[in-house]
Structure 1
Amino acid sequence: MLKRHQEARGFSPPAPSATPAPPALFSHLFQQPMNLTSSKNKEFEEHYSGMLAEYVTAIAWSPQGNTLAATSANGEVVLWQDGELTTLQAGNGQSVDCLAFSPDGKFLAVGGQDGRVKIWQEQELIATLENAPAWVDKLAWSHTSNQLAFSLGRYVQVWDADTREVVTTLNFADSSPLSIDWRIDGQYLAIGGNKGIKIWHAQDWDEEPYILNMPTVSVTMAWSPDGKFLASGNMDRSVTVLEWNNPDPWVMRGFPGKIRQLAWSEATTKLGAPILASSSVEGIVVWEKLEDENLGWEARVLTNHVGVINAIAFAPKSFLLASAATDGWLCLWNKAKEVSQILTGVADGFSTLAWHPQGKLIAAGGEKGELIIWAKILRGQGFGRS
């Protein structure tokens, strides 16, 4: 169980340390033999398959769900709409590593190896922000405005797409930012990296950030969809969960490797809390909050993959969890408990995945450049081609 770290309260949460949880707790579970679950009732069928020139680095659906954007290690930026691929940027040999749609779907931003942040409005390139020699590999739009935050060396810059001006430049200082995430209400911007997470108030960028100190590196970090929790997956094989307005985080240890991926559910349990999935090497741990605050969060381990998991995500408003790995499997976990279907179709492994905003499609990218979309099968109406 994930228990709250007990130390004196203060403005900055105390550095998580050895919460008693023996590494052996998970080690034998992560080494269980492969579960060859057959797909008795197919939920999804292949809807589209295409190719990019190289490893698919990132994919994202527009908020309206009518467009899927994808980028590659060769520098390609493409849009999928109604079965057709449109190229916004041809491959140039320099990797594009991150992309995101603005909350209104009007803007698409990408960043990559060449240090440029490019913003398209529909299919017109409207801005190119030159940041070389910095490598832009993290970016995120606010959920409530057209403000874009992106990594810039040891800084994060916030740029406004409406005014086309830089709003602020934030000094993370301790390392390059490894994750950037806005809270759902747009009030706070969290940045993770070496020594923990810093959280800035978007209404007053000059105010000193709230600091969640850690004696390790925050590798990946995410706000829960309701904005009540902030989770961090760490280099020292731990997961930290901070409940907003409570300075004592929960900490869990004993994973087989660093925490690579985190995903929160939009759906909530009877307690009104979302569930959290975390992946480390080929294993997944799902956390569910318990009623007893002292006990914290209960864990269950999901094992089926035999390769490193590159992406995990919950379907919208659901506990259906998807995981994509280097073993070439995209596993669908019913209620985040057991495999209900395994999707395949890549020559090597999967690199990334993204759910359609309504959950009726799921897209994934491959290590060899594959771009695949599966559609939910509509029962009683033949096969779904929505």
Structure 2
Amino acid sequence: MARLPRKADLKPTALEQRGKRFAFGAPVTGAVSVGDAVVVSFGDGMLRFFCPDKMPQELKLHEGVILCLAADGDGHVITGGDDGKFLRTSLEGAVEELADFGTRWVDCVAASHGQIACSSGKEAHVWTPGQSKVTVFEHASTVGGLAFDAKGKRLAVSYYGGATIWAREKRWKSSKLVWKGLHGDTCFSPDGKYLVTCMQENALHAWRLRDKGDFEMPGYPAKIRSLAWVGDTPYLVTSGADEAIAWPFGGKDGPLGRKPVCVAYNEGELVTCVHALPDQDAVFVGFRDGAVQLAELDETKPAIVISGSTGSEVIEIIVAGLHIFVGDARGNVLWAPLWEGSSFAQHV
């Protein structure tokens, strides 16, 4: 574990000066917060734990790339790898193998209200508290994304040709949402009224679930790989352009007929990662060159530079308690206190 050197001609921001930089030599593939800790997965199969006032701890978890990571809400994380294993790990490093799919990769994982799920190939597997048997759902093509709604009562599974929502009452019932094309990462809106997917065709697609009305949000120059729900409206903020694109989902029809808010700009660099500043109408924006900005969802206000370029695209930004984690595609990491004193904005 080595400190990351900085170019002599770049002046560190105040946040960088009070933080620590590391170079792990393998790409960051995922990161989640568990209390005040951030748990990070890497391309070398390592899981690393970042806690305030401690050096990062590490655990060799998978025999290959950790492809997906989620917090289970019970102080553990779940991971899937190209070694075919689906694992649950505690912050203390205790590991439980939930499933082994052999040569089939575990592509997606999700968790909510005690339920956990993973996908391998065309199948989604769901573990429900109080049930000894795993529920398996098969779909028409390889699963591209998994997401539970906020109450944990619905599971969305996306794939080529659309998505299926599995709703659990006394038993599971399915509802199909059809749209031609390859659908990847997916998420419910915080109020559960919409389902959104990221498409291979550089666009978002959304369904209004009350009547299955659907609409597209096209025009991105690159694939959308990062989503964040921000503020009370709420806005869905996305990567995939040279600014963070924020679609308003408030009101009766969400973004239909409304323009997005566009914030944060870094000399034409593509946005690769977005993450909400908790309890604020503001978002952290990571770029292809490794820089990070903090922007309010207000086009009249300039963004604040949080950290400078590392030369490698930002993969994950996570806020946990009073600290922020930034990780990139080369394994460069910034771990820093968000602020000193009572005001973040005064110190960045």
Q: TM-score, normalised by structure 1?
A: 0.76
Does the 8 A contact of 1:57 with 1:351 survive in 2? yes
Counterpart of 2:45, as a letter, is G
Does the 8 A contact of 2:264 with 2:295 survive in 1? no
Provide the rounded CA distance (Å) in 2 between the counterparts of 1:320 and 1:44.
20
**Residues 37-63 of structure 1 deviation map (CA, whole Å, 9 limit, x = unaligned):** xx9x9677642333323111111110x
Does the 8 A contact of 2:234 with 2:250 survive in 1? no
Correspondent of 2:315 among 340, 351, 359: 351
Find the counterpart in structure 1 of residue 82 from structure 2.
Answer: 113
Provide the rounded CA distance (Å) in 2 between the counterparts of 1:124 and 1:84.
19
Shift of 1:99: 1.4
Task: Specify whether residues 49 and 158 from structure 1 end up closer, same or farther in structure 2 by C-alpha distance, changes over 3 A only.
Answer: same
Find the counterpart in structure 1 of residue 247 from structure 2.
Answer: 287
**Residues 161-199 of structure 1 deviation map (CA, whole Å, 9 limit, x = unaligned):** x669442011122x2211111000011000112111111
Provide the rounded CA distance (Å) in 2 between the counterparts of 1:363 and 1:157.
30
Using CA pairs below 8 Å that are at least 6 residues apart, which structure has the higher relative contact order? 1
Correspondent of 2:58 among 76, 84, 87: 87
Does the 8 A contact of 2:155 with 2:167 survive in 1? yes
Shift of 1:290: 6.6
Provide the rounded CA distance (Å) in 1 between the counterparts of 2:240 and 2:49.
31
Task: Specify whether residues 381 and 281 from structure 1 end up closer, same or farther in structure 2 by C-alpha distance, changes over 3 A only.
Answer: closer
Task: List runs of 5+ in structure 1 lacking aligned partners.
Answer: 1-38
Does the 8 A contact of 1:45 with 1:376 survive in 2? no
Find the counterpart in structure 2 of residue 17 from structure 1.
Answer: none
Find the counterpart in structure 1 of residue 136 from structure 2.
Answer: 169
Does the 8 A contact of 1:233 with 1:278 survive in 2? no
Pair 1:256-2:226 in alignment:
no
Matched length: 331
Shift of 1:120: 1.8
| SS state at 2:260 partner | strand
Task: Specify whether residues 237 and 195 from structure 1 end up closer, same or farther in structure 2 by C-alpha distance, changes over 3 A only.
Answer: same
Counterpart of 2:147, as a letter, is D
| SS state at 1:372 partner | strand
Task: Specify whether residues 100 and 252 from structure 1 end up closer, same or farther in structure 2 by C-alpha distance, changes over 3 A only.
Answer: closer
Residues 183-198 of structure 1 aligned to structure 2 (within 5 Å): 183-198=149-164
Provide the rounded CA distance (Å) in 1 between the counterparts of 2:329 and 2:228.
21
Shift of 1:135: 1.0
Residues 1-386 of structure 1 aligned to structure 2 (within 5 Å): 46-62=18-34, 64-65=35-36, 67-82=37-52, 83-89=54-60, 92=63, 94-105=64-75, 107-121=76-90, 122-142=92-112, 144-145=113-114, 147-160=115-128, 165-173=132-140, 175-203=141-169, 206-207=172-173, 209-265=174-230, 267-268=231-232, 273-289=233-249, 293=253, 296-302=257-263, 304-305=265-266, 306-335=268-297, 337=299, 338-344=302-308, 346-356=310-320, 358=321, 360-379=322-341
Provide the rounded CA distance (Å) in 1 between the counterparts of 2:344 and 2:296.
22
**Residues 355-382 of structure 1 deviation map (CA, whole Å, 9 limit, x = unaligned):** 22x4x32211122212222322234699
Task: Specify whether residues 110 and 315 from structure 1 end up closer, same or farther in structure 2 by C-alpha distance, changes over 3 A only.
Answer: same
Provide the rounded CA distance (Å) in 1 between the counterparts of 2:344 and 2:297.
25
Shift of 1:289: 4.3
Task: Specify whether residues 291 and 55 from structure 1 end up closer, same or farther in structure 2 by C-alpha distance, changes over 3 A only.
Answer: closer
Shift of 1:230: 2.0
User: Could you say what the CA RMSD is over the residues aligned between the two structures, in angstroms?
Assistant: 3.1
Does the 8 A contact of 1:110 with 1:118 survive in 2? yes
Task: Specify whether residues 297 and 88 from structure 1 end up closer, same or farther in structure 2 by C-alpha distance, changes over 3 A only.
Answer: same
Shift of 1:214: 0.6
Shift of 1:296: 4.0
**Residues 313-350 of structure 1 deviation map (CA, whole Å, 9 limit, x = unaligned):** 21222221112232111121123644222413635332
Shift of 1:206: 4.1
Identity %: 20
Does the 8 A contact of 1:326 with 1:350 survive in 2? yes
Does the 8 A contact of 1:289 with 1:298 survive in 2? no
Counterpart of 2:77, as a letter, is L
Task: Specify whether residues 351 and 336 from structure 1 end up closer, same or farther in structure 2 by C-alpha distance, changes over 3 A only.
Answer: farther
Task: Specify whether residues 115 and 68 from structure 1 end up closer, same or farther in structure 2 by C-alpha distance, changes over 3 A only.
Answer: same
| SS state at 2:56 partner | strand
